[in-house]
A and B are shown apart, each in its own frame.
Chain A
Amino acid sequence: MILNETLLPSRLSHRSQMWDATGMWAWILHRITGLGLVFYILLHTILMSVSLLSGKESFDATLAVLMGNPVFEFLDTLLVGAVLYHGFNGIRILLFDMGIGISVESQKKLFGIFMGVAAILWVWSIALKFSG
């Protein structure tokens, strides 16, 4: 029973209880993707502005590298994955803040549903990217 596992002392140490929880992993991944996206948005703002300000040739050359190089294409798919995870998990946190689905059981269910939708969108975006 969920109540027993979360509220009553068990044979497990606190540390392993903490790391066994879905919410802990969800939180860590939210933080990692968040930090990655902060780094990205700052880099993206500088790179796009500078290359636009440098004129047509420079901008098209920058885009050719960013959109043609397999390393960047791979990083792009990671970026979309990070945005989707952070976005959908963020909406889940928002629902939690609003008092929707607060029980441990519905938390896990909501996490599953949101991650399912995010995963479908991610696979769809990768399929779209490499079909064109």
Chain B
Amino acid sequence: MHAWTWFLQRISAVILFIALGLHIGFLHFSHVGEPLNYADIMVRLKTPVLIIFDILLLIFGLYHALYGLYSVFLDFDSGKKERIVVLGLLVAMGLSFFGFGVFGLLYVIR
């Protein structure tokens, strides 16, 4: 299992390198001096392409972050049982954050 999850960590790294650059660049550096506000954010959040972009960013961001945490955990000695428990917790955490993020997004743009 470790091989493809490790590979996905590399894939998500490349995607995040590009997507986070766009996310930070557009949201914070494309109109310096004009503060972000609710109305502008709503227009952005309702744009179909950006809905997909934001959901993908959330998926890859969470995967990369939580798999990163799992890699840190694997650097310490652990038994098989502990690994399963930690992995289960991280998967549950990822799914909750994903559900929460998507629910929040779809709820405000409904």
Contacts and interface: CB of A to CB of B under 8 A. Distances in A.
Interface of A: 31, 34-35, 37-38, 41-42, 45-46, 48-50, 52-53, 56, 59-60, 63-64, 67, 80, 83, 87, 90-91, 94, 97, 125, 128-129, 131-132
Interface string B59-92: 0011001101100100000000000000000000
A50 B105 CA distance: 10
B100 A41 contact: no
25 contacts: A35-B72, A38-B65, A41-B62, A41-B65, A45-B97, A49-B101, A50-B104, A52-B41, A52-B108, A53-B104, A56-B39, A59-B38, A59-B41, A60-B37, A60-B38, A63-B36, A63-B37, A64-B35, A67-B35, A67-B36, A80-B24, A83-B20, A87-B17, A94-B14, A129-B32
A128 B103 CA distance: 34
Nearest to A130: B32
A127 to B, nearest CB: 10
**Main SS class of interface, B:** helix
Interface residues of B, number: 35
Contacts, number: 73
Nearest to B6: A97
Contacts of A53: 104, 107-108
Contacts of A49: 100-101, 103-105
Given A49-B103, A91-B17, 11 more contacts: A31-B72, A35-B72, A38-B69, A45-B101, A48-B104, A52-B38, A67-B35, A94-B14, A125-B29, A129-B32, A131-B32
